């Protein structure tokens, strides 16, 4: 997708890595590793003990109790019971808790997770029905630049576009304000930070949107994963943000051949992304806001096709967001799939639906609320998300993306999903969804360019839903 048009998101599964903490002799029982310490930093493959069991860390963690966080999607693997004298120091195969290694050429503004302190993000504050938009903060296009302080109060979540990697596989995310030569009237960095602080004080959420059309992000290695965590943390801390929006597009996410189970992914770019996001959530606490804006190709197309398929030959990107969404469903704040720049997609009625009207919004959103069998396999069903986790994305104007729908059509779709009225020829399988979260648009800048039609039409409509 183009910068001047849209975005998409994404995110993914954690890989379990186990290690056995063995005693020094073959006849001895499995020895207990050093006791878990809530203030210590543990990285992948570190071992700690608690309550007579050894645990191995799957990724960077601090303060997460292994006796509690050792489920399928949690940070710790339970290696089983241990006994005997607690070892004074772990073996070389199970390194002692330490700071995450700093990748080469790490900028001083991007500390590693283990060396920087972050203030927990306050919990709550998001309205029942939210208006969500993307702000062109790092670049200019035909819509023009808009200062953060001038973003109208109606916007509940503001996604800063974009944080981009230094290279596709580095994991090193950078964010800078649009240069004055490109964006006349751009505020100073101090003014930008002050405006973010004011928005948050007013109850708004401000997120870093990562990726975009020019920001391919492929976390192919654990080094890239760890660099992603440290660099994103540095940006959140510097600007005082509430969380992140995952906008992985193009070839950022795809599934390796043979990776056919969305519940248990094995592809590194998927596994490492999930791990990285879970680490960020653990670092900032329950108030951390996570949104995603994938395109339909990466989500709803998974009803028919998943990855390269059981025999190969399919596009490996098909449905590749599903393992990310599923693994992070307990951490996800809002999923707002882009219902634009899309081909026709089969809905749960086994009919193809095309963008440009209420029908497409209804059918695509119903899939996320009701769930669906992946690649048609009724034994492998993607469970629906909670109502409050689901919104949908629509272009704010005809210039913002293909598939623009006039306000009346967008509101028809919402009324169908929330109240079951005016659904046209489609019957939602998810029933009524009174807690449906709201609407996302690309973009706030384009909405201003067209006289704020999206905001002025939909903000009072959402408020009136109750």
Helices then strands (H, E): number in the chain? 8, 18
36 to 42, 66, 189: CA distances (angstroms)? 9, 8, 41
Nearest C-alpha neighbor of 426 from the set 364, 384, 333: 364
| Three-state DSSP class for residue 391 | strand
Give the max Cα distance, the chain. Answer: 78
User: How remote is the C-alpha of 19 from its chain's centroid?
Assistant: 29
d(CA 270, CA 325): 10
Nearest C-alpha neighbor of 206 from the set 243, 153, 246: 243
d(CA 334, CA 49): 36
365 to 7, 107, 159, 198, 261: CA distances (angstroms)? 17, 41, 21, 33, 23
Residue 229 burial (C-beta neighbours within 10 Å; 0-12, 13-18, 19+): buried
| Three-state DSSP class for residue 169 | coil
Nearest C-alpha neighbor of 447 from the set 45, 131, 29, 40: 131
| Three-state DSSP class for residue 136 | strand
Q: What are the tokens at 347?
A: 């809905």
Residue from 164, 187, 249, 459 carrying the catalytic annotation: 249
Q: Is the dihedral of CA 278, 58, 258, 255 positive or negative?
A: positive
Q: Is 249 a catalytic residue?
A: yes
d(CA 253, CA 268): 10
Kind plus residue range of the DSSP H or E element containing 132: strand 130-136
Beta bridge partners of 81: 53
d(CA 269, CA 316): 13
**DSSP states of 9-59:** -----PPP-------SSTTSPPBPPSBP-TTSEE-TT-EEEETTEEEEESS
Cβ within 8 Å of residue 188, ≥6 positions away: none
d(CA 281, CA 332): 10
Please list the alpha-helical segments (H only) found in 202-333.
Answer: 222-239, 268-284, 322-327
Cite the active site residues. 249
């Amino acid at each position: 997708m183009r910068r001047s048009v849209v975005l998409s998101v994404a995110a993914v599964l954690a890989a379990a890595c186990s290690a056995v903490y063995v005693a020094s002799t073959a006849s001895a029982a499995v020895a207990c590793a050093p006791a878990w310490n809530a203030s210590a930093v543990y990285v992948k493959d570190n071992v700690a003990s608690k309550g007579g069991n050894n645990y191995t860390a799957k990724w960077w963690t601090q303060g997460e109790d292994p006796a509690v966080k050792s489920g399928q999607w949690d940070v710790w693997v339970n290696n089983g019971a241990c006994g005997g004298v607690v070892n004074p120091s772990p073996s070389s195969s199970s390194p002692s808790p330490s700071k995450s290694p700093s990748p080469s050429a790490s900028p001083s503004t991007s500390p590693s997770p283990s060396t920087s302190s972050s203030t927990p993000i306050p919990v709550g504050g998001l309205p029942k029905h939210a208006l969500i938009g993307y702000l062109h903060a790092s670049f200019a296009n035909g819509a023009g630049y808009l200062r953060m302080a001038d973003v109208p109060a109606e916007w509940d979540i503001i996604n800063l576009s974009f944080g981009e990697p230094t290279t596709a596989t580095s994991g090193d995310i950078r964010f800078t304000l649009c240069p004055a030569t490109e964006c006349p009237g751009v505020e100073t960095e101090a003014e930008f930070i002050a405006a973010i602080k004011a928005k948050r004080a007013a109850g708004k959420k401000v997120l870093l949107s990562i990726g975009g059309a020019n920001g391919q992000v492929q976390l192919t290695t654990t080094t890239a994963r760890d660099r992603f965590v440290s660099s994103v943390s540095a940006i959140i801390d510097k600007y005082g943000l509430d969380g992140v929006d995952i906008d992985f597009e193009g070839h950022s996410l795809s599934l390796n051949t043979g990776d056919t189970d969305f519940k248990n992914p094995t592809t590194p770019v998927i596994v490492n992304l999930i791990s990285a996001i879970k680490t960020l959530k653990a670092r900032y606490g329950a108030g951390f806001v996570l949104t995603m804006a994938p395109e339909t190709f990466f989500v709803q197309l998974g009803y028919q096709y998943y990855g390269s398929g059981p025999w190969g030959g399919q596009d490996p990107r098909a449905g590749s967001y599903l393992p990310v969404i599923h693994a992070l469903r307990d951490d996800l704040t809002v999923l707002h799939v882009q219902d634009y720049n899309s081909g026709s997609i089969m809905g749960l009625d086994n009919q193809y639906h095309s963008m440009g009207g209420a029908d497409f919004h209804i059918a695509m959103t119903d899939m996320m609320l009701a769930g669906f069998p992946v690649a048609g396999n009724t034994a492998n069903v993607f469970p629906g998300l909670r109502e409050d986790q689901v919104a949908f994305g629509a272009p704010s104007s005809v210039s913002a993306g293909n598939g623009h729908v006039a306000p009346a059509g967008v509101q028809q779709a919402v009324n169908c999903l929330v109240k079951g009225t005016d659904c046209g020829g489609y019957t939602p399988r998810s029933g009524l969804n009174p807690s449906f979260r709201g609407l996302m648009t690309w973009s706030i800048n384009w909405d201003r360019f067209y006289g704020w039609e999206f905001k002025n039409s939909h903000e009072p409509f959402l408020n009136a839903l109750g």
